[in-house]
């Protein structure tokens, strides 16, 4: 654990320094390799469906896990696109975001509105994504298992609202002027899913759609395990991004397999920085004192928090 013993005023000064250095280093620039990520992940996913449709036993499970990680990468690329961090071209951002998030059955415009509200209200009860102190204070061991291990949290707090936002749900989160765009995204997701599972059936045979569904569920579980505790057990009722968010550092391989999804402090500090520059951003923060909540292990964090929830720890 890296501790930062300073006031939030000092934290903000560090954040400004890091932001200035990041701009000097061009960490907000998109690269061709980064923009190729959703194409590579999609093609790899289709290749896995071909192999998985014919596999059985342990090999099938390994291929499902690989497909799950492909879905994780697509989810985080879609997340970057929602921030305009996929490409400097707005149309490319929209297309990549719609395509990538459709694999998670999530609408781009609905997700973007929801996620922007999350960034505006991180650490406060107004956060609509389930990461608010009010939500986290209601978690016990049973709901922790249901929301994270099953996992029901991501579908209930992200996927479903990203659809309902187009039909008058939470108008303070989903502006009325966004509803038509969200409904169009709903149609895109349905068409994408129909085409994807039809292609899975053609490529993988009768077992192809089942394999694709297993890969989706695995990716959903992995994404939830990575992000569910990004704001649990940290300082709340403060807008200090170094203290109200948690990072789990990844090695290069895991970072590539998860699109550096564990670097959450870094993302909240500079949301427009693409996922492949987050490790460098993490290094810049550490050079200036670190942040309050940096962990080394997803498993260790989940065991710690499960123990706290079992004892009735609110946050």
Q: What is the tens place of the pLDDT at every residue in 152-183?
A: 888 999 999 999 999 999 999 999 999 999 99
Candidates 87, 116, 122, 73; CA nearest to 231 is 122
Query: Does 100 score more than 70 pLDDT?
Result: yes
Query: Does 4 score more than 50 pLDDT?
Result: no
pTM comes to: 0.93
Candidates 114, 55, 121; CA nearest to 79 is 114
Band (314; pLDDT cuts 50, 70, 90): low
Average pLDDT over residues 61-65: 97
Tell whether the torsion through CA atoms of 259, 265, 270 and 272 is positive or negative.
Answer: positive
Candidates 81, 125, 129, 75; CA nearest to 105 is 75
With residue 269 as reference, give the H or E element that holds it. Answer: helix 264-269
Query: Does 98 score more than 50 pLDDT?
Result: yes
- Cα 243 to its chain centre, rounded Å, is 19
């Amino acid at each position: 654990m890296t501790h930062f013993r300073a006031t939030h005023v000092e934290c903000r000064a560090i954040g400004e320094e890091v932001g200035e250095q990041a701009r000097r280093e061009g960490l907000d620039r998109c690269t061709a390799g980064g923009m190729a990520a959703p194409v590579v992940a999609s093609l790899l996913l289709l290749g896995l469906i071909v192999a998985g449709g014919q596999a059985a036993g342990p090999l099938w499970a390994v291929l499902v896990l690989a497909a799950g990680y492909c879905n994780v990468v697509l989810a985080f690329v879609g997340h970057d696109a929602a921030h305009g961090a996929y490409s400097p071209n707005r149309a490319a951002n929209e297309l990549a975001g719609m395509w990538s998030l459709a694999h998670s059955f999530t609408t781009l415009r609905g997700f973007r509105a929801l996620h922007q509200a999350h960034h505006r209200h991180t650490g406060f009860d107004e956060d609509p994504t389930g990461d608010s102190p009010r939500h986290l204070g209601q978690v016990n061991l049973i709901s922790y298992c249901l929301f994270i291990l099953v996992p029901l949290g991501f579908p209930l707090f992200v996927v479903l609202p990203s659809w309902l936002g187009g039909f008058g749900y939470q108008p303070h989160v989903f502006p009325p002027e966004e509803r038509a765009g969200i409904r169009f995204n709903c149609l895109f997701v349905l068409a994408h899913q129909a085409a994807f599972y039809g292609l899975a059936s053609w490529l993988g045979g009768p077992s192809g759609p089942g394999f694709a569904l297993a890969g989706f569920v695995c990716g959903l579980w992995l994404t939830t395990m990575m992000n569910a505790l990004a704001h649990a057990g940290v300082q709340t009722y403060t807008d200090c991004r170094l203290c109200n968010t948690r990072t789990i550092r990844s090695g290069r391989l895991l970072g590539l397999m998860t699109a550096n999804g564990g670097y959450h402090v870094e993302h909240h500090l500079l949301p427009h920085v693409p996922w492949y520059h987050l490790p460098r951003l993490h290094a810049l923060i550490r050079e200036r004192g670190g942040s309050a909540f940096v962990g080394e292990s997803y498993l260790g964090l989940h065991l710690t928090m499960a123990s706290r929830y079992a004892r009735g720890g609110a946050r």
